[in-house]
């Protein structure tokens, strides 16, 4: 079981690393010119389009599950039960 | 006709005036609270107030037969002339209702001592033991200052203060973001540090000691109860590192990749949780206070993509993310979160949301301990670190009002399904629900102005 977990972790890390490397090497050819940002500039295209919803959700899931953060800091902040 | 127009104009003017006054009042209050300068003159108020953008929300989280929480947020954002942004957030929440104490259901009724040590509660046969004395109120303040450091670098620093009746949390964070490739790529790095102090009513229980069950009015009770306590309060610290990379793919698509490393040290045990000690038949003989390691290292990878579809797909924005988390307690988890913002008409939208979550158990998690397994070292029966899956499904409806204001409603259903994880249950537990599901409703109203 332990071996499997380690294998999964290693595989995940390799996938992540590959994605990052591919992204970084390809990024110079990706993207848009400043005048093509009409859609990207919309509020709903922001990575966190509703920070209030995100904060409330983080609080719920931090209190009810063993994971937190990832998108932003997982931090402490409450003794939630 | 003229009169009607006048009336409408008057009404609009009154509404605008009310809006400005509310905004001005909030701006003043925010300024006074955080010592930022807000002009106090009547004219100044209006001019200054218009620079603040407020987001407010009220959320109700209610579990069937368990906890109910209400949370209110007021957040103000002010953008200054040099692209400096100040964000202040005030959060107030309150929590009541029964919470699982960690013990397992039994074929007969069970009696427990309240966490405070004063009084008892009884759990009927076949039911999951819940302590119904939880009641907490929390106030939280967050401040964040963000500003350009150079042409391509943005810096941000923030502070956090959160106070509950029995909990104090203080935090600081700092972030730097570097834009390159015509600002299509951003590399960011942030650190945060939290220091928390836990002062539970009744003190911190001695890990692995037996819960004292008896008459709390008896003259010996206080001395006997004190023997099961180690201190009045405990601390923990959390240090986080977050590395992020954001890439614009094309006019319609943006992606983000994060890696985070989090170190938590100190008191990580839940002082309110016990573990049932069962005999070979499965009948409870004792309840011992749980004991978790005093450090935890969590790591996670997070990926997100947002895509703006065209007319053929309703101009919808799809937001899909995946997080993989693992820690040195043996827990790993997968989270898939997706939202679809679909415009409805010119001024409103509907946003369906679906989230899947699955986690494995901590190495020291066990739903119960059998007598002959004693003594144990680290042990917890808290289902939140056990094997479990969860799903959230719901939708948000938002409507844009005059002057850029927005009103939205969110309703979601959250379903948690703990699973056994391969623990063989002794005979007495046959037919009992030892992994009860939790169903909750999340309802929220938000208003931005």
pLDDT in tens, B9-28: 555 455 545 554 556 555 54
Q: Which of B173, B179, B184, B362 to mutate to test the interface with A (most CBs of A within 10 A)?
A: B184
Quickly state the pLDDT bin for B48 (edges 50, 70, 90): very low
Q: Exposed, middle or buried: residue B243 (CB in 10 Å: 0-12, 13-18, 19+)? A: middle
The answer to whether B68 and B130 have CB atoms below 8 angstroms apart is: no
Distance CA B136, CA B163 (A): 10
Residues B80-119 as b/e (b if ≥16 CB within 10 A, e otherwise) read eeeeeebbbbbbebebebbbbbbbbbbbeebebbbbebee
Q: Which residue of A has its CA nearest to B97?
A: A81
Within 129-158 of B, beta carbons closer than 8 Å to A belong to 134, 136, 138, 140
CA B350 to chain centre: 24
Q: If we measure between CA atoms, which residue out of B99, B429, B67, B69 comes closest to residue B273?
A: B99
The answer to whether A25 and A17 have CB atoms below 8 angstroms apart is: no
B321/A71 CB distance under 8 A: yes
> What is the per-residue pLDDT across B373-411, written as a single tens digit (0 to 9) for each?
989 999 999 999 999 999 999 999 999 998 889 999 999
Taking CA atoms, B56 is separated from A74, B75, B262, B407, in Å, by: 22, 6, 30, 10
Residue B404 pLDDT: 86
- Please state whether B282 falls in left (phi above 0), alpha (psi between -120 and 50) or beta: left
CB atoms within 10 A of CB A3: 7
Residues in B touching A78 (Cβ below 8 Å) = 138, 140, 162, 164, 167, 169
**Which residue has better confidence, B333 or A79?**
B333
The answer to whether B396 and B351 have CB atoms below 8 angstroms apart is: yes
> What is the per-residue pLDDT across B227-238, written as a single tens digit (0 to 9) for each?
999 999 999 999
Q: Is the pLDDT of residue B259 over 80?
A: yes
CATH superfamily assigned to domain B49-448: monomeric porin ompg (2.40.160.40)
Distance CA B61, CA B51 (A): 33
pTM here is 0.86
Query: Any residues with CB less than 8 A from the CB of B222 and at least 6 apart, and which?
Result: none
The residues that bridge with A37 in the sheet, in sequence order, are none
- Helix H or strand E segment including B19: helix B2-34
CB atoms within 10 A of CB B318: 16
Q: Is the pLDDT of residue A25 over 70?
A: no
Residue B30 pLDDT: 47
What DSSP designation does A48 have?
A: S
Q: Quick one: tokens of B41? A: 């003159």
The residues that bridge with B339 in the sheet, in sequence order, are B319, B353
Distance CA A52, CA A56 (A): 6
Residue B386 pLDDT: 97
CB atoms within 10 A of CB A66: 26
**Cis bond leading into B375, ω under 30°?**
yes
CATH 2.40.160.40 residue ranges in chain B?
49-448
pLDDT, averaged across chain B: 90
Quickly state the pLDDT bin for A35 (edges 50, 70, 90): very high
Q: Between A16, A40, A66, which is nearest B331 by CB?
A: A66
Residue B215 pLDDT: 87
B236/A20 CB distance under 8 A: no
Average pLDDT estimate for A13-27 = 65
The pairing of strands B185-198 and B234-250 is antiparallel
Residue A29 pLDDT: 78
Average pLDDT estimate for A66-76 = 85
A55/B245 CB distance under 8 A: no
Residue B10 pLDDT: 54
Quickly state the pLDDT bin for A28 (edges 50, 70, 90): low
Q: Is the pLDDT of residue B211 over 60?
A: yes
């Amino acid at each position: 079981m332990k071996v499997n977990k380690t294998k999964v972790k290693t595989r995940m890390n390799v996938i992540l690393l590959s994605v990052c490397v591919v992204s970084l090497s390809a990024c110079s050819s990706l993207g848009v010119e400043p005048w093509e940002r009409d859609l990207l500039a919309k509020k709903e295209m922001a990575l966190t389009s509703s920070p209030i919803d995100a904060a409330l959700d983080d609080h719920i899931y931090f209190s009810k599950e063993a994971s937190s953060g990832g998108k932003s800091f997982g931090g402490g902040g409450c003794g939630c039960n | 006709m003229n009169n009607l127009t006048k009336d409408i104009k008057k009404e609009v003017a009154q509404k605008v005036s009310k809006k400005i006054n509310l905004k001005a009042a909030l701006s003043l209050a925010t300024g006074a609270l955080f010592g930022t300068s807000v002009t106090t003159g009547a004219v100044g108020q209006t001019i200054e107030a218009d620079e603040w953008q407020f987001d407010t929300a009220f959320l109700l989280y209610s579990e069937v037969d368990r906890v109910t929480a209400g949370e209110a947020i007021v957040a103000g954002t002010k953008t200054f002339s040099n692209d400096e942004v100040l964000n202040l957030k005030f959060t107030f929440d309150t929590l009541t209702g029964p919470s699982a104490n960690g013990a397992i259901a039994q074929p007969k009724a069970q009696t427990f001592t309240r966490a405070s040590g004063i009084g008892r509660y009884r759990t009927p046969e076949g039911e999951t033991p819940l302590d119904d004395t939880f009641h907490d109120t929390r106030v939280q303040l967050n401040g964040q200052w963000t500003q350009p450091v150079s042409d391509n670098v943005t810096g941000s620093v923030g502070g956090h203060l959160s106070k509950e009746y029995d909990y104090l949390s203080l935090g600081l964070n700092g972030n730097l973001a570097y834009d390159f490739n015509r600002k299509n790529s951003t590399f960011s790095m942030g650190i945060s540090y939290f220091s928390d102090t836990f002062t539970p009513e009744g003190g911190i229980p001695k890990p692995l000691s037996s819960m004292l069950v008896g008459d709390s009015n008896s003259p010996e009770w206080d001395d006997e109860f004190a023997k099961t306590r180690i201190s009045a309060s405990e601390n923990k610290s959390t240090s986080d590192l977050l590395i992020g990379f954001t890439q614009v793919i094309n006019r319609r698509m943006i992606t983000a990749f994060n890696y985070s490393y989090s170190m938590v040290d100190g008191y990580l045990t839940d002082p309110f949780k016990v573990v049932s000690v069962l005999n070979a038949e499965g009948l409870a003989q004792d309840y011992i206070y749980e004991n978790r390691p005093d450090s935890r290292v969590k790591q996670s990878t997070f990926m997100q993509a947002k895509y703006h579809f065209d007319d053929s797909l309703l101009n919808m924005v799809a937001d899909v993310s995946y997080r993989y988390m693992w820690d040195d307690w043996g827990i790993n988890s997968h989270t898939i979160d997706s939202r679809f913002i679909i415009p409805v008409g010119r001024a409103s939208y509907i946003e369906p949301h679906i989230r899947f979550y699955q986690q494995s158990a901590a190495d020291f998690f066990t739903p119960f301990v059998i007598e002959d397994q004693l003594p144990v070292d680290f042990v917890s029966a808290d289902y939140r670190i056990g094997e479990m899956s969860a799903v959230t499904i719901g939708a948000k409806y938002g409507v844009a009002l005059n002057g850029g204001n927005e009103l939205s409603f969110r309703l979601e259903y959250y379903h948690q399904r703990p699973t056994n994880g391969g623990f063989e249950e002794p005979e007495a537990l046959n037919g009992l629900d030892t992994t009860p599901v939790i169903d909750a409703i999340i309802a929220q109203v938000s208003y931005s102005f």
